[in-house]
């Protein structure tokens, strides 16, 4: 390192350039090297390179800056402090697309870490130049410009608004149907970062007629593209019911459910969350999710996935679908989801988040449930806070339905209820009493524990006359 630094100040330009390339490759490898380099104070000469005439020097310097700043925010801050950002933005104005691509990549890596760094990139006036890069014919330049805009916009609404004011959305929307897969990845990620902040930004993205054209990209062979499209749909859907209805009317829900069926692992997460957001707005939309076979797909996700955060998201979505009306709760119960949710809640190895979400989902569904055969397994192994909701559901349905009462007795449910111990006066005891009052007293006594002993005692004391 100490030997490379003097080479960067050499007379021969070729040596300077090669030294810079070597430094860049070293910095790319590990953050330790990058930190060492910054400590050795190589940044000022690099910034000087950026202001030189030769475009190979500029490319090499931008390569080093990009490699240094990708590791951590502190290194990026060091780059900003040495005036790197202003010099890079000056280079963005160059004619050569290679130079522009290298500088845009460096800015992308600087802006990705946190808000203040993005703000310094934007303050240097990078955004209009990046939007100009989007219209260039070179695909690599377009890719990098899109990914830089995506990194800038992801932090705060104000930064996203600045990007939108420069007309980024229109250009991004034009590139949606491009055949290049990597470009589409970046474009959709940029659109989703813009639209996630507020309703007005989301509406602007929708007005650019992104949907229904983006539906075709849900069948793209590249999985990352599909994941980013579902991420965009999730960001749009979560703001208002009207936007959610727009996506549902385009047939977006069916496509996302198909996508969930085909892929495995973490790409499923945006799709799951999107279904949850759609169902959360209103019961009509939740019903639309149910008839598009969303619940069976989510149940499959719960069974197949092992990652806790994906399961937690699936549990949350199921809760959002099922909590509106008894119709929704019954649809969820017939898909055999409830035992799985209970299992996740009781499992000691589940994360807290997963347990919390599955408990809330169970509670909200049990409030409205009227489909009783789904509840039978709960009586035997549910903990008491779930049990009281289960008994509450039973006590609401049993007084009115004689068929259900018959089923309850024959399947052994009444027996289990009698065997439960509850403190008198607690909610559990009230529900038990309510259930007992639905049945004739002889049946209740027959199933209560210790009845056979009572009968035997009666037999012993009986004197035949």
Partner 1 sequence: MHRRCKKYKQVENMKHFAYQAEEHRQKENQAAIRIQSWFRACRVRACLIHLRKKAVIIQKIWRGFRARARFRQMIYRLCYDRFFVRKYIHNFYVRKRYLEGISRKNEFIRRELDELAVLQKRERDCLQMVEEQTAKFYQAHRLHYLLSTKLNGQWVFNSPFRPAPHEMEQLLRQVKYQAPTRLTHRGRACLLGRPEPPAPSFSGSLGAPLVETTRICSFSRPLLPPIANKQKQVST
From 17, 148, 292, 364, residue interacting with partner 1 (rule: CB under 8 A) = 292
Shorter beta-carbon distance to partner 1: residue 146 or 288: 288
User: Is residue 358 close enough to count as binding partner 1 by CB under 8 A?
Assistant: no
Least distance to partner 1, CB of residue 189, Å: 22
Q: Cα angle at 221 between 216 and 223, to 5 degrees?
A: 100
d(C-alpha 202, C-alpha 241), whole Å? 13
Shorter beta-carbon distance to partner 1: residue 109 or 297: 297
| Number of residues engaging partner 1 in binding (CB under 8 A) | 18
Binding mask of the shown chain, residues 202 to 241, with x at each position contacting partner 1 by CB under 8 A: -------------xx-xx-x--------------------
What is residue 42's DSSP assignment? -
User: Is residue 327 close enough to count as binding partner 1 by CB under 8 A?
Assistant: no
From 139, 287, 409, 434, residue interacting with partner 1 (rule: CB under 8 A) = 287
Phi (first) and psi of residue 417, to 5 degrees: -65, -40
Least distance to partner 1, CB of residue 322, Å: 17
Least distance to partner 1, CB of residue 257, Å: 9
Own/partner contacts of 362-366, CB < 8 Å, gap of 24 or more, are 362/319, 362/338, 362/386, 362/389, 363/389, 364/319, 364/322, 364/323, 365/318, 365/319, 365/322, 365/323, 365/329, 365/332, 365/333, 365/338, 366/329, 366/390, 366/392, 366/393
From 91, 254, 272, 335, residue interacting with partner 1 (rule: CB under 8 A) = 254
Give the distance from CA 48 to its chain's centroid.
Answer: 43
d(C-alpha 276, C-alpha 364), whole Å? 14
d(C-alpha 50, C-alpha 44), whole Å? 10
From 35, 258, 353, 376, residue interacting with partner 1 (rule: CB under 8 A) = 258
User: Is residue 253 close enough to count as binding partner 1 by CB under 8 A?
Assistant: yes
d(C-alpha 464, C-alpha 442), whole Å? 23
User: Is residue 246 close enough to count as binding partner 1 by CB under 8 A?
Assistant: no
- Where does this chain touch partner 1 (CB under 8 A) — which range of 54-62, 150-158, 283-291, 379-387? 283-291
User: Is residue 255 close enough to count as binding partner 1 by CB under 8 A?
Assistant: yes
Shorter beta-carbon distance to partner 1: residue 47 or 289: 289
d(C-alpha 338, C-alpha 336), whole Å? 6
Packing angle, helices 223-237 and 241-249, rounded to 10: 140
User: Is residue 140 close enough to count as binding partner 1 by CB under 8 A?
Assistant: no
Least distance to partner 1, CB of residue 216, Å: 6
From 251, 261, 326, 399, residue interacting with partner 1 (rule: CB under 8 A) = 251
Phi-psi region of 403 (alpha: psi -120 to 50; beta: other; left: phi over 0): alpha
d(C-alpha 273, C-alpha 237), whole Å? 10
User: Is residue 284 close enough to count as binding partner 1 by CB under 8 A?
Assistant: yes
Least distance to partner 1, CB of residue 120, Å: 41
Shorter beta-carbon distance to partner 1: residue 221 or 464: 221
Least distance to partner 1, CB of residue 294, Å: 11
User: Is residue 249 close enough to count as binding partner 1 by CB under 8 A?
Assistant: yes
Shorter beta-carbon distance to partner 1: residue 105 or 211: 211
User: Is residue 291 close enough to count as binding partner 1 by CB under 8 A?
Assistant: yes
Cβ contacts of 366 within 8 Å, gap of 6 or more: 329, 375, 386, 389, 390, 392, 393
User: Is residue 305 close enough to count as binding partner 1 by CB under 8 A?
Assistant: no
Shorter beta-carbon distance to partner 1: residue 28 or 178: 178
Least distance to partner 1, CB of residue 98, Å: 17
Least distance to partner 1, CB of residue 221, Å: 8
Cβ contacts of 239 within 8 Å, gap of 6 or more: 198, 199, 202
Tell me the helices (H) and strands (E) count for the chain, helix number first: 32, 0
Cβ contacts of 196 within 8 Å, gap of 6 or more: 154, 202, 235, 238
In the complex, the residues that contact partner 1 under the rule CB under 8 A are 215-216, 218-219, 221, 248-251, 253-255, 258, 284, 287-288, 291-292
């Amino acid at each position: 390192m100490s030997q490379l630094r003097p080479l960067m100040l050499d007379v021969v330009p070729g040596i300077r350039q090669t030294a810079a390339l070597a430094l860049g490759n070293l910095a790319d490898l590990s953050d330790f090297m990058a930190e060492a380099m910054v400590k050795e104070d190589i940044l000022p000469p690099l910034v000087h390179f950026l202001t030189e005439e030769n475009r190979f020097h500029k490319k090499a310097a931008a390569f080093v800056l990009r490699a240094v700043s990708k590791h951590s925010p502190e290194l990026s801050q060091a780059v900003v402090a040495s005036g790197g950002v202003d010099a890079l933005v000056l280079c963005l104005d160059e004619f050569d697309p290679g130079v522009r691509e290298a500088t845009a990549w460096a800015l992308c890596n600087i802006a990705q870490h946190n808000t203040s760094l993005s703000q310094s990139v934007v303050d240097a006036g990078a955004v209009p130049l990046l939007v100009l890069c989007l219209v260039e014919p070179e695909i690599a330049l377009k890719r990098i410009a899109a990914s830089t805009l995506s990194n800038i916009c992801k932090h705060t609404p104000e930064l996203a608004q600045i990007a939108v004011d420069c007309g980024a959305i229109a250009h991004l929307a034009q590139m949606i149907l491009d055949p290049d897969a990597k470009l589409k990845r970046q474009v959709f990620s940029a659109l989703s970062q813009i639209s996630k902040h507020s309703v007005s930004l989301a509406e602007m993205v929708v007005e650019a007629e992104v949907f229904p054209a983006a539906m075709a990209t849900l069948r793209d062979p590249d999985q990352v593209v599909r994941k980013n499209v579902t991420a965009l749909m999730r960001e749009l859907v979560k703001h208002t019911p009207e936007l959610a209805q727009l996506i549902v009317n385009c047939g977006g829900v069916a496509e996302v459910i198909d996508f969930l069926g085909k892929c495995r692992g973490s790409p499923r997460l945006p799709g799951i969350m999107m279904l949850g957001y759609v169902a959360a707005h209103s019961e009509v939309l939740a019903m639309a999710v149910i008839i598009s076979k969303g619940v069976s797909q989510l149940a499959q996700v719960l069974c197949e996935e092992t990652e806790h955060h994906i399961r937690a998201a699936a549990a949350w979505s199921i809760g959002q679908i099922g909590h509106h009306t008894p119709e929704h709760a019954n649809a969820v119960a017939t898909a055999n989801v409830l035992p799985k949710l209970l299992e996740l809640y009781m499992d000691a190895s589940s994360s807290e988040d997963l347990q919390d979400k599955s408990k809330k989902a169970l509670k909200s569904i049990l409030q409205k449930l009227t489909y009783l055969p789904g509840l039978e397994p709960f009586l035997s192994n549910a903990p008491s806070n779930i049990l009281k909701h289960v008994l509450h559901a039973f006590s609401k349905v049993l007084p009115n339905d004689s068929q259900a009462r018959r089923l309850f007795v024959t399947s052994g449910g009444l027996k289990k209820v009698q065997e439960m111990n509850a403190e008198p006066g607690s909610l559990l005891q009230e529900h038990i009493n309510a259930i007992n009052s639905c049945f004739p007293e002889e049946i209740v006594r027959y199933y209560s524990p210790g009845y056979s002993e009572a009968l035997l005692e009666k037999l012993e004391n009986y004197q035949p006359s």
